[in-house]
Structure 1
Amino acid sequence: MRGSRYRGEAVRRVSVPGVPVAGCEGSSTGVRGLRCGGDKYPGTFQFRFPGGAAPPRGVSRIPAPSIKVCPELEEARRWEGVRDVRPLDGNVRRWGGLLLPNNPPYNTGAFRFELTFSPNHPLEPPCATLRTPIYHPSVDLEGRVCQPLTTHGHWEPATRAIQVLQDLLLQLDSPDPRRLLRPDVARELQERPEEFRRRAEEHTRLHAEPRPEPRT
């Protein structure tokens, strides 16, 4: 099938099985003329079919999450709040990187995170996890984060991955005892803030990774 054969007025937004996840462009199916769906239909392809014809066999009208995630990855890499953001194990729907808090008691270290995208992204929220232990009321001992932005009740498909990371960094910079996964730490933050800060600083010293040099 050649792209020139399927030029017409009708536009169908589809995904194509076989498009390499890590490549973000091209196709292993021989289908040509594909491009990202744009802001109105994020995470989808556009393909032109003559006279409104149906898509070829093997082409389905479902979201193509890897197409939306690829440019978002490049956007996140340019943000100053993170370093070393990259797909894990070649999977563009699993990111890893370092988060760089700005405020005490965490700003002396860097915290490794993982951001995992649903196969239905952006219709479903991603999940952020901290892989570096942290003494924080909103992060449990397994690294799970209480992040309302990424709950099904608050998620908006137009939300970009960089906004999820910015929200996570803001949460580290400004601990909120109302967003709690560790009630004892939240209670300490409210009732004995100096003790909380001392413990958090010591925890950061023991577990956080060294901060990278500033970008030039």
Structure 2
Amino acid sequence: MSPSARSFYEKFDKDFENISAMADGELREDQEAIYREKMQNSPAFKEKFNEYNKLKKTVESIPKLPEDHYFVSRLNEYIKKENKKTSGLRPFYKPAFGLVALTVVLMSFFKLSPEFMDDLFETQKGNIIDFYTKNLRPYFQEDELTKDDIFNFAFSQVLPIDGSGQNVISLDESGSGASIAIRQSSFGDSIMSLKEFTEKLDLDKTQQLKLNNVLKNMRIRFGVPSL
């Protein structure tokens, strides 16, 4: 199409757009006067204006739907249900290579610096006990706490609160102070069992005993005398 022909069709479309705006009462008075004059000289413009007017009257004649005050509430509930259906089907998005590399780095680090693990648990021990006694004790009985629970909370600050593991208590220290939240578990939660940790780092008997003693002391401090 030549530039002149394209310009002609663009102008023609613009004229029809303005005629539609005039039918809706959205055109300025000076523009409306121009297009009323054009309609007198152009049967095509007049026919298009009548067509838009007829369409407008047809739309206005359709009865309005009754107002539904609970539509938004029902829509929100529907969206929540749909999100729950799809959340469990979401593929695991963490790259496998990254997890393998992280595991190798952790294993090497703990092998070369075994004292770090002792310092970590010693430091976390007081924090976890204080946090539990002040915040978490109301949510479950002390005898429900296992070594795995204590171990996982020390590392990931996430504690499962039901048998399925779908609901967790998480600790958030991003703000000015620590806060807790009860929420559904997600793929972003790093939950590693004590057995998996021991196997991945290939801990010897002495290291396993030391780790078990730390967890046992913490559990006793929680008020559970036996493991």
Pairwise TM-score range, normalised by the shorter structure: under 0.3
TM-score (norm 2): 0.23
TM-score (norm 1): 0.24
Structure with the greater alpha carbon radius of gyration? 2
Of Structure 1 and Structure 2, the greater strand share is in 1
